[in-house]
Structure 1
Amino acid sequence: MVEVLKPDFEIWYVLTRMLWKERNNVLHLQSARSTICILEDVKLWLMDYKNINKVKEPPFRSVPPALNWEAPPLVQLKLNVDAVVNSTTGWIGMGAVIRDSKRTVCGALSTKIKGHPSAYVAECLALCAGLRFALSQGLFISTVESDSLKVISAVKKIEPLSFEGPIINDIIATLRMLGGMFATTLLVRGIMLPTN
């Protein structure tokens, strides 16, 4: 079996098409073109084909690192969570990013759900989703960061009869499922809050 390289195949394909077209022209009583004209058409077709199929590289954009983001201790992981509520559309957007001490992303989650909760409940749901994601990926985190002091405080001092109580219970249960390596530090905008 003979191996045919792509550029050779492209030339062969366009040339055979042009010859076939020329054959049909002659069969239908049109005059035959010169070999030079046919080869010139082959070159033009190949140039068009290559220009159309050029892969354009997307422009490289460097994302500047977050200036106030603190890395977790060496060989440990940090979970950052956030949520947004769009009261117009009724969607809650939730995100979670797990990074190591070198800022390498080890896992990321982005999801949305339909609903009209308060920003506080949305932040609770984002923390819960982020922790469950970490657990499902086997990523044991040492630090959790949220921009909601109310959520972090609620995890530290549970009020099970509150409306958000079941979500907070779920967060604590997920932290326990992460084992002895569960988040030893909870952060709110860089403020450390011990879990004990």
Structure 2
Amino acid sequence: MTISEPCFKGVWSQIRKRLSQADMEEAGMIARLLWTRRNDFVDGKELRHPNSIIQKAAADLMCFRETQNKTSVETNRGSRPHVKWKRPPEGKYKLNWDAAMDVSRGLVGMGAIIRDYNREVLATLRARRKLTLSPFNAEAHALMLAVLFSKEAGFLDLMLEADSLHVVEKLEKPVEDWSIGGLIVKDTRNVLKSFVSWSVCHTKRDANMVAHKLAKDALLSDYDQYDLEEIPICIKQLVATEAL
């Protein structure tokens, strides 16, 4: 695409005519961050690497779309109750996992929780890695870590659940994907072959908030935390609410 305009306003006008809505949203995020990068540099701050701009734009765009989708659903359906976490069938365990990102520091927080039919918390995981990943790759990394943790802890009859539709679909219906996240999901499927049984399903963020809070809390710690039959303080209230 070649555009020759004397000012940014003219360039933006031409871009709007040629890009789809989704591409326009991404371009807008990147343009905003580039301008912020320029201002920070003028103010004497370190010039951020272009890769950090792309990663931050992807994370911001994901949050924007999730908010837009939530607003749209609430507008179309009124004040619909939040989706609640559901316990697994008797004799099975449910693993919820999530990832959180601190793009400015290049960190990924990963959280996971295993509960049973009685809604008892059997195990939790909080881990932080110094990685610069896309949201999909971060969620895939969290999935792998959670599955390995479950295997090590002996929970081999597992229902997996998360709010990352992309990762869930990749795990449920494998397709050729040579991206970092795609390869991680493929390796995770190989690990799951050693389990007694497993299944995976997608849920809304409302029903995955405990795992999300664990992932956010992981960003605050310098070391991994693995707890068996103990409930971390950061999720105690939420776990109690979901057990009602």
- One fold, TM greater than 0.5? yes
Q: Given that residues 171 and 200 in structure 2 are in contact (C-alpha distance below 8 angstroms), is that contact kept between their aligned partners in structure 1?
A: no
| Count of aligned pairs | 123
Structure 1 residues 158 and 185: CA distance shift in structure 2, 3 A: closer
Q: Which residue pairs with 2:108 in the alignment?
A: 92
- What do the CA deviations read for 1:44-71 (whole angstroms, capped 9, x no partner)? xxxxxxxxxxxxxxxxxxxxxx971100
Q: Given that residues 111 and 142 in structure 2 are in contact (C-alpha distance below 8 angstroms), is that contact kept between their aligned partners in structure 1?
A: yes
CA distance in 1, matches of 2:145, 2:164: 15
Unpaired stretches in structure 1, ≥5 consecutive residues = 1-65, 191-196
Q: Given that residues 96 and 160 in structure 2 are in contact (C-alpha distance below 8 angstroms), is that contact kept between their aligned partners in structure 1?
A: yes
Q: Which residue pairs with 2:134 in the alignment?
A: 118
Tell me whether 1:168 sits opposite 2:185 in the alignment.
yes
Task: Compute the TM-score of the two structures, normalised by the length of structure 2.
Answer: 0.47
Residue aligned with 2:96, SS: strand
Which structure features the higher share of helix residues?
2
Q: Given that residues 172 and 200 in structure 2 are in contact (C-alpha distance below 8 angstroms), is that contact kept between their aligned partners in structure 1?
A: no
- Runs (4+) off by over 6 Å: none
Q: 1:69 aligns with which of 73, 85, 110?
A: 85
CA distance in 2, matches of 1:141, 1:90: 34
Residue aligned with 1:88, SS: helix
Superposed counterparts of 1:1-196, under 5 Å? 68-163=84-179, 164-178=181-195, 180-181=196-197, 183-189=198-204
Please tell me the root mean square deviation across aligned C-alpha atoms, in Å: 1.8
Percent pairwise identity: 30
**Which of these two proteins has the greater Rg computed from alpha carbons?**
1
CA distance in 1, matches of 2:190, 2:94: 18
Unpaired stretches in structure 2, ≥5 consecutive residues = 1-81, 208-244
Cα deviation for residue 83 of structure 1 reads 0.3
Q: Given that residues 99 and 110 in structure 2 are in contact (C-alpha distance below 8 angstroms), is that contact kept between their aligned partners in structure 1?
A: yes
Cα deviation for residue 161 of structure 1 reads 3.7
CA distance in 1, matches of 2:193, 2:201: 14
Cα deviation for residue 175 of structure 1 reads 1.1
